[in-house]
Amino acid sequence: MEWLEEFSETRLRGGPRDLSDHCTIIVEEQRMQGGPRPFRGLDAWFTHDDFLRMVKKEWKGLGKMQFTDKLKALAAPLRSWHKNNFGEMDKKILKFEEEIKKIDDLVSTGVYDATTEARRKALVTCCERWYVRKEIQWKQMSRSWQAKEMDRNTRYFHNIALTRRRNNLIDTLVVNGRMVRNKARIKIAIKEFYKDLYHQKSSPLLGFRDGLVAKIAEEESVSLEAMPSAEEIRQAVWDCESSKAPGCDGFNMNFIKRC
């Protein structure tokens, strides 16, 4: 586990065996350079007292825009707010731990009064709050909901998230019968594959064949084309699991429900 945490982007692959009954193990560092990081809403933001007030202020400041465009525009101030309030989380925790240790060292030398006790309690409360925030963030990134809430098992979620990231990395791809390892060529191949797939006249993935779709009854047609009520929309949203995979705009259902 210590190796995986230190070298999170390291992978192993088997080399050629040739005439031997063994193959070499090649250690590679696969740095993930997929372009700019996409925006992702974090559940940990709701633990900050000022978050909802900030969202309300920024939302009103955007004026009248289409809802999806407004969400997209909201991402920029949220990024900035996250950097100012949640950036360098480990350093913040370390700072509180060092301050707590200093007080404990003073107590061990006999320096102890009500002020010292109150300061230590305040520091412990702040440190615990950052531990909880860190756990919520890594739990969301790992997409693991097996452990109970607030068990502070941050390292478990951290390792699950790193494992997911390694497993999701596409470092090789067979294109036209040839093994490709160049990242730029892999991106182009994936883009062209889906571009071709969604422009085909016959696509099992899209559920039709040769451009023909079986007719449905007029009653069913009217039902499908009817505008949903506000209550039906709300019910559909609230039935979704709050912290699962977000949409393409980066906002998960937890953000939509609570904001």
Query: What ranges do the domains of the chain cover?
Result: 171-214, 218-245+253-259
96 class by beta-carbon count within 10 Å (0-12 exposed, 13-18 middle, 19+ buried): buried
pLDDT tens for 166-214 read 777 787 888 888 888 888 888 899 998 888 887 755 555 555 555 455 7
Residue with the larger pLDDT of the pair 190 and 161: 190
Q: What are the DSSP calls for 78-119, one per residue?
A: HHHHHHHHHTTHHHHHHHHHHHHHHHHHHHHTT---HHHHHH
d(CA 241, CA 43): 13
d(CA 114, CA 67): 53
Q: At what angle do helices 89-108 and 114-142 cross, to 10 degrees?
A: 150
Of the pLDDT bands very low, low, confident and very high (cuts 50, 70, 90), residue 138 is confident
Side-chain half-sphere of 206: how many Cα atoms within 13 Å?
15
d(CA 98, CA 120): 11
The whole-number pLDDT of residue 150 equals 45
d(CA 77, CA 55): 9
pLDDT tens for 73-126 read 999 999 999 999 998 888 999 999 999 998 888 888 887 788 888 999 999 999
The length of the chain, given as a count of residues: 259
Q: Which of 1, 7, 11 lies closest to 166, judged by CA?
A: 11
Give, rounded to a whole angstrom, the gap between the first and last alpha carbons of the chain: 38
pLDDT tens for 31-82 read 656 567 778 888 899 999 999 999 999 999 998 889 889 999 999 999 999 9
Q: Which of 165, 132, 124, 160 lies closest to 43, judged by CA?
A: 132
Instruction: Enumerate the H helices of the chain as residue ranges.
Output: 2-6, 51-61, 67-86, 89-108, 114-142, 154-168, 183-197, 218-225, 230-238, 253-258
Residue with the larger pLDDT of the pair 92 and 15: 92
Q: Which of 7, 6, 23, 3 lies closest to 15, judged by CA?
A: 23
The whole-number pLDDT of residue 165 equals 73
d(CA 213, CA 209): 7
**Which of 29-38, 140-149, 205-214, 231-240 has the highest average model confidence (pLDDT)?**
231-240
Give Cα 33 distance to the centre of its chain.
17
